[in-house]
Structure 1
Amino acid sequence: MSWLSDFFGDPANWSGPDGIPARLLEHLEFSALALALAMLVAIPLGLLIGHTGRGGVIVVISANLARALPTLGLLVLFVLLLGTASILPVIIPLVLLAIPPILVNTFEGIRGVDPELRDAAYGMGLTGGQVLGRVLVPVALPLILLGLRLSAIQVVATTTVAAYTGLGGLGRFVIDGFATKDYASVVGGSVLIVLFALAVQLVFTLLQRTTVSPGVSRRVKVRQVASGRETT
């Protein structure tokens, strides 16, 4: 507890470019950029494959293989290839980390919609795009948001590695603390990263409650109870 009080009670840690607000903003910027780029790739691809039913096996296998990639190893590789003049060596591994959960959950969400509901929508004269936008996406939204939540938490936690390349973020407190044996900074930075991840979890929980219709939420809960698991 003394380390926490030393870290959070030090006025120097709350001001300047190395202060908590500045590092928190840097961490947020890195995480948000990586998640946004992953969404631009994974959501359209997941919607397309889930709607057409083509390439689903390849998607699942590729996503599972991508999850096995070591983020720190990729970071070192891209730093060697691209240098440290930009944020690309950090953003690329984070995007690769974030894509699989979003892609798989989007694909599974669309594929898992009741075929009778899909047929009824076509029977009403809706086009393929209208069926996707008006019927499939709203029903699949809980799983899509689950994929986004999983990716966001992973990215927030892993953005700590940005400090290895000399960039900012909350990881600076941990990396610099170890380098200078300032363990109050190490503990304080670790607590900040955990709190940030919990805040992201809360944001997505509130987002799901406000965007997903109660009927769809109840249906998803029934399916999860029946299957005994979530799609992750």
Structure 2
Amino acid sequence: MGAIGDAFTWLATGANWQGESGVWNRLAEHLYFSGVCLLLSCLIALPVALWLGHLGRGGALAVNLSNVGRAIPTLAVLILLTLTPLGRLGDLPTIIALVLFAVPPLLTNAYIGMREVDRAVVEAARGMGMSGRQVFLRVELPLAYPLVMTGLRSAAVQVVATATLAAMAGEGGLGRIITAGFNTYNTPQVVAGALLVAVLALLVEGVLVAVDRLLAPMRGREAVRRAA
């Protein structure tokens, strides 16, 4: 039948979806980790990137520093944090490791989006008497939105995929299905867990793309209203 077929058979078994170790509970844990980490990453990265992009100073240094984090393996950070006193604080090591992993794409895309706004448009807005705050909110931010959204989508998919590593630190999530399969030499369970993570990442990407397309007409109408 093959590994993929056996994996679908495992997924079709109702007992594997029930209980503390079942798919539904592990999925809820995975979404919790991913959602909290993505929210914290946005709260950290976006205000800094957007403000530095607006000022036009210090952003390159911030982006380069954040990109250093991409060279550090998330699993290594997670294990090291687990071995520190932070490891006694439950989910905190996992959340910190995933936040550090999600900040670079958010920071980089938001900053570049702000800096790529046509300076002629910005100067024209200032010439019309707009304050710095109005230029930021009405001109720069709407024009930078596509790249900001791209960074958000990238970070979201990366966090959902990388949250699987939480199982290596004894935390929950869909990664526990995979590690449990390895521990019991249950290949169909391992493949099923990997499929669940892949499908969840694709669903998250699809939802964010749909939200982006839903907001696009509204952004267009708002731009027309402001121009009028």
Normalised by the length of structure 1, the TM-score is 0.89
Unaligned runs of 5+ in 1: 217-232
Q: Partner of 1:175 in structure 2?
A: 179
- CA distance in 2 between partners of 1:56 and 1:16 (Å): 48
Q: How many residues align?
A: 216
Q: 2:114 aligns with which of 110, 115, 138?
A: 110
- CA distance in 1 between partners of 2:87 and 2:205 (Å): 33
Q: 1:97 aligns with which of 85, 91, 101?
A: 101
Q: Please, what is the CA RMSD of the aligned residues? A: 1.5
How far apart are residue 6 of structure 1 and its match?
2.7
Q: Partner of 1:63 in structure 2?
A: 66
Matched, 1:51 2:75: no
Q: Deviations over 1:79-133 (max 9, x none)?
A: 0012254101100010000000000100000110011111111122111111111
Structure 1 residues 30-41: aligned runs within 5 Å: 30-41=33-44
Unaligned runs of 5+ in 2: 221-228
Find the residue that maps to 1:212 and give its secondary structure: helix
Q: Partner of 1:11 in structure 2?
A: 14
Moved over 6 A (4+): none
Q: Deviations over 1:28-71 (max 9, x none)?
A: 01001000000001000011110001112202211221111110
Q: Is the 8 A contact 1:178 1:186 kept in 2?
A: yes
Q: Partner of 1:184 in structure 2?
A: 188
Matched, 1:137 2:137: no
- CA distance in 2 between partners of 1:92 and 1:70 (Å): 13
- CA distance in 2 between partners of 1:180 and 1:132 (Å): 56
Q: Partner of 1:25 in structure 2?
A: 28
Residue type matched to 1:60 in 2? V
Find the residue that maps to 1:83 and give its secondary structure: helix
- CA distance in 2 between partners of 1:184 and 1:53 (Å): 52
* Residues 3-12 or 104-113, more deviating: 3-12
Q: Partner of 2:92 in structure 1?
A: 88
- CA distance in 1 between partners of 2:89 and 2:184 (Å): 25
- CA distance in 2 between partners of 1:210 and 1:54 (Å): 33
* Residues 205-214 or 187-196, more deviating: 205-214
Residue type matched to 2:34 in 1? S
Find the residue that maps to 2:177 and give its secondary structure: helix
Q: Is the 8 A contact 1:157 1:194 kept in 2?
A: yes
* Residues 81-90 or 35-44, more deviating: 81-90
